[in-house]
Structure 1
Amino acid sequence: MKQQGSVLLVDDDEDILVAGKLLLKRFFSDVRICNQPEHIPTLLNEHRFDAILLDMNFGPGESSGEQGYNWLDKIIALDPQAVVIMITAHGGIDTAVEVMKRGATDFIAKPWQNEKVIATVSSAVKLGQSRGEASALRQTNETLTKLTSRQSQPFIANANSMQPVMNIVERCAPTDANVLILGENGTGKEVIARAIHEKSARSGNIFITVDLGAVPESLFESELFGHKKGAFTGAMEDRVGRILAANGGTLFLDEIGNLPMHLQAKLLAVLAQREVTPVGANKATPFNVRILAATNMPLAQLRDERRFRQDLLFRLNTVELTLPALRQRTEDIIPIANMYLADYARKYAKDGIRLSQGLQDAFKAYSWPGNIRELKHSVERAVILCSSDELGTEDFQLNAVPHRATFNDAPKPYHNTGASAVDSAAPTTTVSEQTSATLHHQAESAHAQFNLEEIEKQTISKALKAYRYNISHAAKALGLTRAALYRRMEKHGL
C-alpha cells in the first residue's frame, strides 16, 4: 500500500533516476525526478516535497562533493523545513557528518540497498509531513493570535478625565507589571486591558479573557488550570487551562471581585509560584503570563480582608488604575456614540444616519448609569427602529434621573376603590356609562399588568438599576446566566 508523500530525486545519472523512480513509485504517491540541479529552485517554488534525495556530485569526474554541499545549502536557504537525504558513491563517516551539520536529514551510499532506501525515505517523508503540519499550525496560531488579541474597535479617550489613565497605560504597558483596573460596570475595562496588551512586548502573543463571574465554582480549577483525562466525571480528554493557553501572552481576569475566598487562595498560590498543576496531574508546569485583572467592586470593599484576600490584592495591583464613568467623560460621549452609530449603520444597511443636535445635548446631560455598554445598546436599538436619517431624543429612552429601584419592587395590583357609581360632578354620566368606563379602565390596567413582555422588561430594568448595572449580581438575582441576561437586555433595548 502506497504511503501518501511527495518525493524529489535529483541525480545526473539517468540510470539512477529511472531505477530510483521505479522503486519509489511502488511506495509513495508522488515521485518526481530531476537531472539538472539548476531546476531545483523552480521545482521548490512550484511544489512542496516531503523529502528530497540529492546527489553529491554532478558531471563526469566529480568526486569532491562540493556541488552537493552547495545545493544542499541552497535548498535549506529556500526552505528551512526541507528534509534532504544525500546520495553519493564517494564518502564515508566524515562526509556523513558534514552533510548532517549542513542540515541534511540522512545519508545513502551507492550502490544502495532497496530495503534501506525505502526505510530511509519513508522516515524522511513522515518527518517532512510533520514539519509541514507544525509550520501550518504555527502560522494558523499566529493568525488567530493577531485576530483575537487586537483591538476590535478604536479606543477613544479625549476627555481630560481620561488623561491620567492614559498616562499610566503608556508607562506600565511596556513592562510586565500586573495591573488592576477598577471602574463601574460598562466603563471599558476590557478595552483598556487590550490597549495595555497591544502596547506591551507581548502584543504578538495571545490575549485571553476569563470572566470569573461566569465560571462556576466547581469548574474554576479546570477552566484556569486545566485537567487530565479521567480526572473527574466528564473529563474525556486532556484540556489545557486558560493560564497555560495564555503562556507568553496576557491573561485578563475580569470580575475578580466576585471570586470566593477559597478560590482566591488557589489563584494566589498559582500566581505566587508561577507554575500550575492541572487537575489530575502530578507535575506542575511553569508559565510566563502577564496578569491584568478588573473589577467593579469599590476599592474600599477590596481592602476589606473579610471580602478579598489582601495578599492576592497586593499581587494583582502592582499598578492600579481607575476608569472614570461615562458621565465623567462628557467630551467622549459623542465621539463614542458616532463610532457605534457608524458600526451599526453598516451592519444594518442604514448609511447616512446622524445624531441631531438636540440628541447630542441630551446625551451629554444624561447620567448613563450603564456607561459605555448602555450607550452602545441604545445606539444599536435606535438604528434598528429608526425611520429617518436623523436620530432624535424620541428614538432613545433617556430618563433624566434614573430610578433607584430594588429587585423586590413589583407593579402594584389593581384595586377597586369602591367609589359611588354616580359622580355628582358629572351629572350627565349614567351608571351604565360609568360601569363601562370602569370595566374599560380595568381591562387596560389588567393588560398593562399582565403583559409578560413588559413585566420582564420592567423587572430586568429594576434589577439592573438596583445592582448599579453589575451584570453578574443582577443575573444572579434574576436567576439567569450572564449570557441570558445580555440577550434579554438586547431584546428589550436596555
Structure 2
Amino acid sequence: MTDCKILLVDDNKSILSALEILLQFEYKTVDSISNPNQLSSFPDLSSFDIVLLDMNFSAGVNTGNEGLFWLKEIRKKAPNTSVIMMTAYGAVDLAVKALKEGAADFILKPWNNEKLLATVKSAYQLRKTRKEVQQLKQKESSLKQVINQNKNFIIGNSRALNTVLSLVDKVAKTDVNVLITGENGTGKELIAREIHQKSKRKDEVFINVDMGSISENLFESELFGHTKGSFTDAKEDRTGKFEAANGGTLFLDEIGNLSLQMQAKLLSAIQNKTIVKVGSNKPIPVDIRLVCATNCNLEQMVADGIFREDLLYRINTIHIEVPALRDRDNDILLLADFFLKKFSAKYGKAGLRLNHAAEEKLSGYHWPGNIRELQHTVERAIILSDGQVLKANDFPFHNKFHPSSTDSPLTLDEMEQQMIRKALERHEGNQSAAAEQLGITRQTLYNKLKKQGN
C-alpha cells in the first residue's frame, strides 16, 4: 500500500463511495468531502498528495468553471499537490484549460478503473517530483548561504580605503564587469566579495577561480566543463566554473597569468555569453557578473603584446585599485588588533595585547606583503609568545626586501626571494616574463610566490 494521502471532492456521494472503495486498497489515506466550500477552511491541505476534484457542483451547470475556480484555490494553498479534474461532460478545450491552470490530469465519468488507477499513480509521481525539486531548491539555497558566508571582514577607516568602498557601493548595484588591481596581499578577493554581497546577485553563488593555478591543457575543462569520454581522464560529465556561477558572480583571480591562447577562449565566452563544454558542440548560455583581479600592469602587457587589448576592454568597464597597506594610515593597527583577537582565541591565549613600542614598530614597517604579511606576522608572534604583552622584539623584521651591506649573510631562501622580487619588478609584475628570465616555468614561479605568502 502506497503511503499517499488522497482527497476526493465531489457533490455526488455515490461517486465518492465508489472512488473510496477503489482507492483504499492502493493508498494509505483516502478522505472525501461533498462540498467544495469546505476547501477554504480545510486544515493542512498541502499535506495531501493528490486531490480528485469534480468540475461541476451546481445542478444543470456543466461549464466546468466551478472546478476551475477551486483548482486555482487549491493551487494557491497547496502548489505542490497534484490535482486531477473529473467531469461527466468531456470537452477537449475544457481539458486543455484545466491543464493550463495547473491540473495534473483529466478523468471522464464514468471511468475505467485501470485507467483511473494509472492516472492517480502518475499524479503521485508528479507530486513526489515536485517535493524533490522543492527540497533541492531549499538545499541549494542553504548551500549558497553557506558558500557566500563572508567570514572575512574589510577592516579600516582610512581615506584610501573609504574611497575604494565608496566606488564599490556604486558599482555593485550594476552588472558591469570590474577589474580589481593592487599589490599581492592587499585584499582584492575581499573587495570582489563585497561587490557580490552588495549586488542583486547576493543570494546566488560567488565562484572564485585562481587562474594562476590552472594549467593550459585543463583551462577549457575547468572553466567551461567537459562531457564524459571527451578526453582520457574524463570519466564523467563535469560542470565548469562559468556554468556553476550562472546567476551569480564569477571571480577570476590572477587573470594576468593567462597565455594568449587562453585569453582568446576566455574572450569568446565573455563576448557571446555562452560556453561550450569540451567534447560537445552545444552552446550553453550563462548569466554571470564577471569580476577579475591582478597585480600585473595589464596596460603595459598590452603594449608588450602579451595581453589582448580587446580582452582588457571587456573586463575593465570599471577599474578599482586597492591601496597598499602602507598607504592606509592607522588601518595597520586596526588590522593588527583584529588579527590579535582572532589568533589569540584560536590558540587559547586570551588577553594578549600590544605594547606601545610594538605598535610603533608595526606602524612604521613598509609591509611589502601587505595585509597577508601582517596577518602571518601577528599569528607567528602569538604562537611564540610567552607573556600577556607582545613587545617590539616579538616582531623581528629581517629587511629581506631592502638588504644593505651591513646585513647578516642571506639564506638560500632569502636570496631566492630577492631574485624573484627583482625579476618581477623588472617586468612590472608580469609573472610569465619574470619566469622566463629566471629560467623556470610560470607555474613554478607561481608556486614559489604562494609558498612565500605573496
CA distance in 1, matches of 2:299, 2:277: 34
Residue 481 of structure 1 and its aligned partner are, at CA, apart by: 8.0
Identity %, equivalent residues: 43
Matches within 5 A, 1:199-218: 199-218=198-217
Give the aligned partner of residue 77 of structure 1.
76
Matches within 5 A, 1:331-350: 331-350=330-349
CA distance in 2, matches of 1:261, 1:69: 61
Give the aligned partner of residue 162 of structure 1.
161
Paired residue secondary structure (1:129): helix
Equivalent position amino acid for 1:42 in 2: P
Equivalent position to 1:33, from 28, 31, 34: 31
Give the aligned partner of residue 377 of structure 1.
376
Matched, 1:467 2:445: no
Matches within 5 A, 1:348-387: 348-387=347-386
Is 1:55–1:86's contact at 8 Å kept on the other side of the alignment? yes
Give the aligned partner of residue 45 of structure 2.
44
Gaps of 5+ in 2: none
Paired residue secondary structure (2:292): strand
Matches within 5 A, 1:85-124: 85-89=84-88, 92-93=91-92, 95-124=94-123
Give the aligned partner of residue 153 of structure 1.
152
Q: TM-score, normalised by structure 1?
A: 0.76
Change (3 A) 1:25 1:229: farther
Is 1:50–1:125's contact at 8 Å kept on the other side of the alignment? yes
Matches within 5 A, 1:428-467: 463-464=416-417, 466-467=419-420
Gaps of 5+ in 1: 413-457
Q: 1:87-109 CA deviation, whole Å, 9 max, x = no partner?
A: 34466556534533433222223
CA distance in 2, matches of 1:54, 1:465: 80
CA distance in 1, matches of 2:4, 2:216: 49
Equivalent position amino acid for 1:44 in 2: L
Which moves more between the two structures, 221-230 or 74-83? Answer: 74-83
Residue 69 of structure 1 and its aligned partner are, at CA, apart by: 4.3
Is 1:369–1:402's contact at 8 Å kept on the other side of the alignment? no
Q: TM-score, normalised by structure 2?
A: 0.82
Which moves more between the two structures, 225-234 or 301-310? Answer: 301-310
Matches within 5 A, 1:408-423: none
Change (3 A) 1:346 1:261: same
Matches within 5 A, 1:251-270: 251-270=250-269
CA distance in 1, matches of 2:84, 2:386: 71
Paired residue secondary structure (1:194): helix
Q: 1:446-482 CA deviation, whole Å, 9 max, x = no partner?
A: xxxxxxxxxxxx6556545543499x87997895985
Q: Decide which structure has the larger Cα Rg and report it.
A: 1
Is 1:225–1:242's contact at 8 Å kept on the other side of the alignment? yes
Which moves more between the two structures, 143-152 or 313-322? Answer: 143-152
CA distance in 1, matches of 2:441, 2:30: 66
Aligned CA-pair RMSD: 3.6
Residue 145 of structure 1 and its aligned partner are, at CA, apart by: 2.3
Equivalent position amino acid for 1:201 in 2: K
Residue 333 of structure 1 and its aligned partner are, at CA, apart by: 1.2
Which moves more between the two structures, 233-242 or 68-77? Answer: 68-77
CA distance in 1, matches of 2:377, 2:251: 27
Equivalent position amino acid for 2:196 in 1: H
Which moves more between the two structures, 81-90 or 233-242? Answer: 81-90
Matches within 5 A, 1:311-330: 311-330=310-329
CA distance in 1, matches of 2:59, 2:348: 72
Matched, 1:197 2:150: no
CA distance in 2, matches of 1:404, 1:273: 47
Is 2:224–2:276's contact at 8 Å kept on the other side of the alignment? yes
CA distance in 2, matches of 1:25, 1:381: 71
CA distance in 1, matches of 2:442, 2:98: 70
Paired residue secondary structure (2:167): helix
CA distance in 1, matches of 2:33, 2:299: 79
Paired residue secondary structure (1:81): coil
Paired residue secondary structure (2:192): helix
Is 1:345–1:351's contact at 8 Å kept on the other side of the alignment? yes
Aligned residues, how many?
A: 435
CA distance in 1, matches of 2:275, 2:200: 23
Give the aligned partner of residue 126 of structure 1.
125
Is 1:63–1:90's contact at 8 Å kept on the other side of the alignment? yes
Equivalent position amino acid for 1:363 in 2: L
Change (3 A) 1:115 1:309: same
Change (3 A) 1:31 1:16: farther
Which moves more between the two structures, 348-357 or 36-45? Answer: 36-45
Paired residue secondary structure (1:201): coil
Residue 274 of structure 1 and its aligned partner are, at CA, apart by: 2.3
Paired residue secondary structure (2:106): strand
Is 2:186–2:323's contact at 8 Å kept on the other side of the alignment? yes
Q: 1:127-162 CA deviation, whole Å, 9 max, x = no partner?
A: 222222222222222232233234322212411222
Paired residue secondary structure (2:212): coil
